[in-house]
Amino acid sequence: MKLLEQLVLTPGVPGREHRVRKLIQSQIKGLFDEVRTDALGSLICVRNARPKTKSGSKKKPLRIMLAAHMDQIGFMVRHIDDKGFLRVNAVGGFDTRNLFARLVSVCPDVNDPKKDLPGVMNPGGKPVHIASAEDRKKVPEVEDLTIDLGLPVAHVKKKVKLGDMVVLRAPFEKIGNTVVSQCMDNRIACWVVIEAIKKLAKSKHNCEVHCVFTVQEEVGLRGAGTAAYGIRPDIGIAIDTTLCCDTPGIPSELRVTEQGKGAALTIMDGASIADLELLETFESVAKKTKTPHQRSILPRGGTDAGAVQRAAAGTKAFTLSCPTRYIHTVTEMVHLADLNACRDLLADYLAQA
Ligand SMILES: [Zn+2]
């Protein structure tokens, strides 16, 4: 859990994934035969086949690309006003109803956490004591949000510039049988991929695995598409979070997954339809290994599988998802059993591929 905690507490908005990439690089020593970063910033880690038999080594290994996005939803500084308040541009889709009274970090140097500045983010406007009934009903837009660094304007202007990354700050907590934090979407997938490869590495495997920690997923699956174009995999598997909708106030027919019921096999989402054979293979591996799993459909939203599927001349693609409650808030909640099921199922699938 230490690695997962480090992953969720490391800031990295789309286009500013530097620190996450560095952290992952430090955690994968010895697991891969080749590690490189592509032009957009995706980290590509290749583990060659370790054929199980002599005849296996003569066959061309199946090339499998795993895609786990490193970026998180966040902001970039867009304006510094005369009093030193910051305005931001969103990078990724926020529900602004969740953005009242938040602690944030402004990161003027992508590589140096020591230069981060703490701040508070609130929508502009009147405090509750003097707000009208109408004011109180208003849901703020991202442009209404201001960041207060508690510093004089001259100091702010010296330290902060347009384009600096801003992330929400929230702790990592173990709550009941779950773990809760910001950006479980999608650092849990980075964790799942690293841990699955550690498991896979304990025995031989016929497939060649290209683990891609992708960039800029939250702004339109950008890194996964270019990485797949370069790799030309036979099979592409995105690993990501998905909705649960199993909490009060949501009718059961709108349910996407149920927390604690295992790894989600995504049949389709807004960006891709899973290759049927891949879906069925994952399902049969899960049944054989008695790994908890559930089928799932996400009506809107998509994962890196959408971009991988359509790269170059096309790739058979699938999404392995982890059920996540309260997604795109700072209290994203993941059940430990689901997290472990995703890791195990991915490792078992690769072992038999
Ligand atoms: Zn995601």
- How far the first Cα of the chain sits from its last, in Å, is 28
Position 99 scores a pLDDT of: 85
Report CA(287)–ligand 1 centroid distance (Å): 26
* 192-218: b (≥16 Cβ within 10 Å) or e: bbbbbbebbbeeebbbbbbbbbbbbbb
The confidence score (pLDDT) of residue 130 equals 79
Hey, what are 316's tokens? 């058979």
**b (16+ CB within 10 A) / e for 138-151:** eebeeeebbbebee
Ligand 1 centre and the CA of 221: distance in Å?
9
- Side chain identity at 184, as an amino acid letter? M
Q: What is the whole-number distance in angstroms between the Cα of residue 317 and the centre of ligand 1? A: 16
The per-residue pLDDT for 94 is 82
CA nearest to 236, candidates 317, 138, 351, 342: 317
For residue 68, the CA-to-ligand 1 centroid distance in Å is 8
- Taking domain 75-168, whether its CATH number is 2.60.40.10 is answered by no
Positions of the chain with pLDDT under 70:
56
Domain 2-72+182-352 sits in CATH at 3.40.630.10
Question: How far apart are alpha carbons 160 and 13 in whole angstroms?
Answer: 17
- Selecting among 217, 218, 253, 283, the annotated active-site residue is 217
CA atoms within 13 Å, Cβ hemisphere of 296: 32
Ligand 1 centroid, distance to 189 Cα (angstroms): 9
pLDDT of residue 53: 83
Give me ligand 1 centre to Cα 79, in Å: 28
Residues 312 and 234: their CA atoms lie apart, in Å, by 12
| Distance (Å) from CA 282 to ligand 1 centroid | 20
The Å distance, Cα 213 to ligand 1 centre, comes to 12
The residue with tokens 């939250």 is 218
Place of tokens 């490391």: 10
> Residue ranges of the domains in the chain?
2-72+182-352, 75-168
Tell me the three state secondary structure of residue 32. Answer: coil
Question: pTM for this one?
Answer: 0.95
List, in sequence order, every residue forming a beta bridge with 139; answer none if it has no partner: none
pLDDT of residue 326: 93
Residue 280 annotated to the active site: no
Cα of 251 from ligand 1 centre, angstroms: 24
